[in-house]
Amino acid sequence: MELPDTDPIRRAATMIDSLRGAIAHAMVGQAAVVEQVLVALVASGHVLIEGVPGLGKTLLVRAMAQALSLAHSRIQFTPDMMPSDITGHAVLDPSTRELRIVRGPVFTHVLLADEINRAPAKTQSALLEVMQEYQVTLEGQTLRLPKPFTVLATQNPVETEGTYPLPEAQLDRFMFKIEIDYPSAADEVAVVVRATADQAGDELPLANVAPCMDGNGVLELQQLAARQRVDEHVVDYAVRIARATRTYAGLAIGSGSRGPLALVRGARAVALLDGRNYATPDDVKRIALPALRHRVALAPDALLEGRTANDLLTEVIDSIPAPRA
């Protein structure tokens, strides 16, 4: 049964549809990937996008930032990058003989961390405080980040030379791990046509992406999502799924407590995208794989059998009865 006064919810769904349409002017296909990124944005979460080169990871992030008319920064991670290259540093001002804080690229609204696994763990860890507490500590000063703030990181799952696997603590800070796959044949034809029409180089096709929302609009969506109704049976369902991963055969490590948090927050955002003011068990199932696949580790025998985290998580989800009352 719907609660009264759903007009704000419907307006929010319309705003999100406009944002989805704006992104579609640059991004062809990949509807599930776009939806999961929008869910994370509405839920005020961070996203790790994994896929081989050339599938549009950077294009998606740039298109979303442009459609939101928000300030955005891009960091190309490299093996020689230092933490101060991300957060900022202090320099001595010769005129005043005092230390002056130079803010790094994290002081933005949308941060694209490109090929994040190419930086060593020391540099990757510079994002821990940023992603969890939305602040940076420099020379004893605590500097708050602007809101809304989201990190959209990319990594290549194929190339391992010169890369550093993300630490578990770093992975756990991402709300979703989204896997982007090859497009369909029809979508790939459309990609080629769009990327080559009246264009000589490889510049991203962002000219037709018109701003359709600002920072206040994003904050409004996030606040609406936070107020979505979630029945205690839906919360219990999310918790049971996460707890089942800790004892399931084939999984050496199960989800921590951030897993059910991501499930519930994501379910609220899914409901908002659908124009509802309440979350359902189906909303939890809809985002269970991106919310949990990076929070589990496979046992050696499952690896030898060629199984994946998606395979085992699907079995876990299917084994947990969903509340229907």
Round to whole Å and give the CA distance between 66 and 214.
Answer: 10
How much is the average pLDDT of 94-107? Answer: 81
Task: Tell me the Ramachandran region of residue 279: left when phi exceeds 0, alpha when psi lies from -120 to 50, beta otherwise.
Answer: beta
Task: Answer with the residue of higher pLDDT: 189 or 313.
Answer: 313
Under 8 Å between Cβ of 176 and 15: no
Instruction: Give the residue-averaged pLDDT of 233-260.
Output: 94
Q: How confident is the model at residue 319 (pLDDT cuts 50, 70, 90)?
A: very high
Nearest residue to 269 via CA among 236, 209, 223, 313 = 223
229-325 adopts what CATH topology?
Helicase, Ruva Protein; domain 3 (1.10.8)
DSSP code per residue over 227-268: T-B--HHHHHHHHHHHHHTTT-TTEEE---THHHHHHHHHHH
- The enclosing H or E element of 275 equals none
Q: What is the residue-averaged pLDDT of the chain?
A: 86
Percent of the chain scored above 70 by pLDDT? 94
What is the pLDDT, as a whole number, of residue 119? 85
Same fold, 1-227 and 229-325: no
CATH among 2.30.40.10, 3.40.50.300, 2.40.10.340, 2.130.10.10 for 1-227? 3.40.50.300
**pLDDT score recorded for residue 201:** 58
193-215 confidence digits (pLDDT tens): 877 776 655 666 777 888 888 88
155 band by pLDDT with thresholds 50, 70 and 90: confident
Rounded distance between C-alpha atoms, residue 177 and residue 209, angstroms? 25
For residue 165, the model assigns a pLDDT of 78
Q: What is the pLDDT of residue 4?
A: 43
Domain ranges for the chain: 1-227, 229-325
Residue 97, Cα to own-chain centre: how many angstroms?
A: 42
* Mean pLDDT within 30-49: 92
Q: Which of 42-46, 160-164, 285-289, 302-306 has the lowest mean pLDDT?
A: 160-164
Which has the higher per-residue pLDDT, 68 or 241?
Answer: 241
Mean pLDDT of 178-192: 86
Length of the chain: 325
What is the arithmetic mean of pLDDT over 95-119? 85
* Whether the model pTM is above 0.75: yes
Q: Work out the average pLDDT over 263-272.
A: 95
